[in-house]
Structure 1
Amino acid sequence: MIVWLIGLSGSGKTEVARSLREKIVALSKNCVFLDGDTIRELLGNDLGHTLDDRRRNAYRISRLCRYLDQQGINVVFGVLSLFPENRSWNREHIVNYYEVFLDAPLPLLVERDSKDLYRKALSGKLKNVVGVDLAFPPPESSDLTLVNDFTRSVGELAEIVLEKVKGRLH
């Protein structure tokens, strides 16, 4: 099973994905946690952050997840998932795919911006930031949408996802 957690930078996808993985492992299930930054590093940081590079990286990630799913390995993946056509590819090619959209309001993300990503982009010091100068088309057909206004704990959000997917895990 592939649990694909989508959201803007700072929306909580990595933290929720880590927590969800722990909960899945506690059920005595195999599970791998991945996120976009980790994949970039594992694959040698050979792609930048332009739209073309992001698109190439998205398909690399999707093919890797499909391969792991075919091997009976559960994957919880926290990823920006910028391209609707990539999400459609996932639905078509990954048999056991579950998409979760962590919808966090941009003003809250800017306020909580621990990496200074949004502040730098809004001041013109950084380019190719999704949600600022690169559009983020929110998913239209996620299996689950969770509004993350940061009033619920990461564990609570992960538990909501777990309840939806635990019957489908390898």
Structure 2
Amino acid sequence: MAAAASSLPPPGRVVWITGLSGAGKSTLAEALVSTLRGAGEPVVMLDGDALREVFGAVDAQHHGRAARLGLALRYAQLCKTLADQGVTVVIATISLFTEVHAWNRQHLPGYVEVLLDVPLAELRRRDPKGIYRRFDAGELQDVAGLDLAVDLPSAPHLHLLHDPARPISALVDAVIQHLHTRTSP
């Protein structure tokens, strides 16, 4: 029995990158995953946009708080399943719900919560998916941070404030440094 226990993979970890639409979650996640893979770490990237499609929740126009919360908890459970197999999971998702943050802290191995805090004016300027423009035109409702209330993490492990002079590499370095300090003896 002891031999079987020693052959289990080491516990993985989950880096949960959150923020409003247009904050740069996917950009940071992609750069972080590239860096971790370059260092030889087994890593999986999950993106909220792709996950909505996988879980059949593509029509976000009609997703209120309850539907979005349920979907976010499914994301968290998927992260746990993967991390329990010894991989690092980097997920980029809005999922700004207190219930999800609490569940993650209690259940996800090596959980690191990263909040990208970008002012609404900058998010509206970026608007890569046209969400803010479509909301303003009355074409969308239940938009996180506008007419759908969000719960910003009360104590994220990393709270990265918007700084237009700060390159993405500096954000990646901040996350890597935090990961290193969490795994150091």
Taking structure 2 as the reference length, what is the TM-score of the superposition?
Answer: 0.85
Q: Deviations over 1:41-85 (max 9, x none)?
A: 222337742212111101110101111111101111111022111
| 1:27 to 2:39 alignment | yes
SS state of the match for residue 68, structure 2?
helix
Q: Deviations over 1:9-38 (max 9, x none)?
A: 000011000100011111111001111111
Q: Which amino acid aligns with 1:25?
A: R
Match of 2:7 in 1: none
Give the alignment of 1:85-96 within 5 angstroms: 85-96=99-110
2:30 to 8, 18, 26: 18
SS state of the match for residue 32, structure 2?
helix
Q: Is the 8 A contact 1:105 1:149 kept in 2?
A: no
1:115 to 129, 138, 148: 129
Q: Which amino acid aligns with 1:92?
A: Q
- Which of 1 and 2 has greater Rg? 2
Match of 1:64 in 2: 78
Greater than 6 Å deviation, 4+ residue runs: none
Match of 2:10 in 1: none
Q: Is the 8 A contact 2:64 2:148 kept in 1?
A: no
| Cα displacement (A) at 1:167 | 5.6
Count of residue pairs brought into register by the alignment: 169
Q: Is the 8 A contact 1:5 1:102 kept in 2?
A: yes
Unpaired segments ≥5 residues, structure 1: none
Unpaired segments ≥5 residues, structure 2: 1-12
| 1:104 to 2:118 alignment | yes
Task: Quote the Cα distance in structure 2 between the aligned partners of 1:149 and 1:107.
Answer: 13
